[in-house]
Amino acid sequence: MKLEGSKLLSRSEIQALISKGLNYVYFPGKLEAIYKQQYQNEAALEFRYRAPIIFMLYAFLSYGIYQIIPTHEKAYQWFSLYAWVGIIVLAAWLLSLFKKLNRFFDFYTCIGSTAAVAISFIIITVMGNNNDALFHAAMMYAVIIIYGFVGMRFYTALIAGWTGGLIAIAVTKLLNYPIDWTFLNRTYTFSSFLGMALAYAIDRQHRENYLQNCIIELNQLEMSKQSEQLELLSQLDSLTGLANRRHLSEVMDQQWRIALRYQMPVSILMVDIDFFKEYNDHLGHLAGDLCLQKIAHELKNLTSRSNDLAARYGGEEFLLLFPMLNEGQIELLAKKLMQRILHLALPHPASPISPAVTVSIGAATIIPQGSDPDAISAFIQRADKALYHAKSNGRNQYCISKKEAA
């Protein structure tokens, strides 16, 4: 029986359950309910194939008993009682064919098994053949099948096996039939304890396998998370947390093809920190790294839409990608970014143009007309050229490609 593992438990909790040996064949908390649901679904599925085998064994045993019954009247009496066991098997089999009834598997198999044990027990006393080995074999067959082959969990099978016997004793006493306790103890009682041991071992093994599957699920989940983390790390710049050049190329290519297909604009901002070398030389590389991280934080906040991307292009240069934004919109973002950087008020004692850190920005917008990879490079060069003009004109400003600096 194959059961999917649960992610409710941690590895340490699973190991604790396994180390205890599952002596009580019961899971704590919500896990038992989850296990029960999965178990009933799988047990009902297996019972669809087991029930015909059970019925064939029942028919074979019935035929053997029928052959040794001496009189027609007694054979009819026996058949009128024992046929109900076959009807119960067929009814349970039909119920197992409906997936919607899987959650009632324990219920209808427990009721049916209780009735089968009671009928098999009563036949022995009612037929007045307490010493007939085949009648006792029929009862032992019912008990063993219930515990070991129907697929009920241990406690459910325990209830069915012993309740059936108690009902049979009550009915027998009510009808004033004698009971040969010596023979019944050697058959019913012995087979019940044997069946209990079998059901206990099976249930415990299923639960151990389930916990092993839980560990496998956790391993797969951990591997999946590690894979995602590695994939994420391969896409990010380790210092700033922005996208790296490789990931930028992948996203740029993807958005370029989308824009080409739907003839939508694509805009980029090339951002450079003014006099960053002087900043590093004057304040040190640790301060320089902190400055890069604070600038990167503002860039990431600016690229708030799901398709926007902020990437570290190299050194103190950054590239921001904005699909579906036109030239007017990208100019507004350039102004907004400059205001945010000035608002940071990062001291820059070595800057000849401002007491605080400033940036220069080159912007470009295009509606792609071809899928040539060189077209993307040419587009980025336009933004880079605009950045060069912004820096040549005194820095701390933005420049739109093919337009004068603002």
The pLDDT assigned to 130 comes to 46
The pLDDT assigned to 5 comes to 62
How far apart CA 212 and CA 15 sit, in angstroms, is 9
Q: Of 34-48, 74-88, 274-288, which gets the smallest average pLDDT? A: 74-88
The pLDDT assigned to 403 comes to 45
The pLDDT assigned to 230 comes to 77
pLDDT, tens only, 38-79: 899 999 999 999 999 999 988 888 887 877 777 777 778 778
How far apart CA 336 and CA 131 sit, in angstroms, is 99
How far apart CA 238 and CA 270 sit, in angstroms, is 20
Indicate the residue type of 204. R
Local confidence band at 7 (pLDDT 50, 70, 90 cut-offs): low
Local confidence band at 139 (pLDDT 50, 70, 90 cut-offs): confident
pTM: 0.60
CA distances from 323 to 147, 306, 334, 344, 394 (A): 66, 10, 15, 27, 29
- Average pLDDT, integer, range 236-251: 92
For residues 341 and 358, is the Cβ–Cβ distance under 8 A? yes
- Average pLDDT, integer, range 177-206: 88
pLDDT, tens only, 340-398: 999 999 999 999 999 999 999 999 999 998 777 789 999 999 999 999 999 999 999 99
pLDDT higher than 60, residue 97: yes
Query: Residue 405: which residues within 8 A CB-CB, separation 6 or more?
Result: 389, 390, 393, 397, 398, 399
Q: Of 217-226, 269-278, 285-294, 348-357, which gets the smallest average pLDDT? A: 217-226
The pLDDT assigned to 286 comes to 94
More confident residue, 155 or 128: 155
The pLDDT assigned to 406 comes to 38
Residues of the chain with CATH 3.30.70.270: 245-400
Q: Which fold has domain 245-400?
A: Alpha-Beta Plaits (3.30.70)
The share of the chain scoring above pLDDT 90, in percent, equals 58
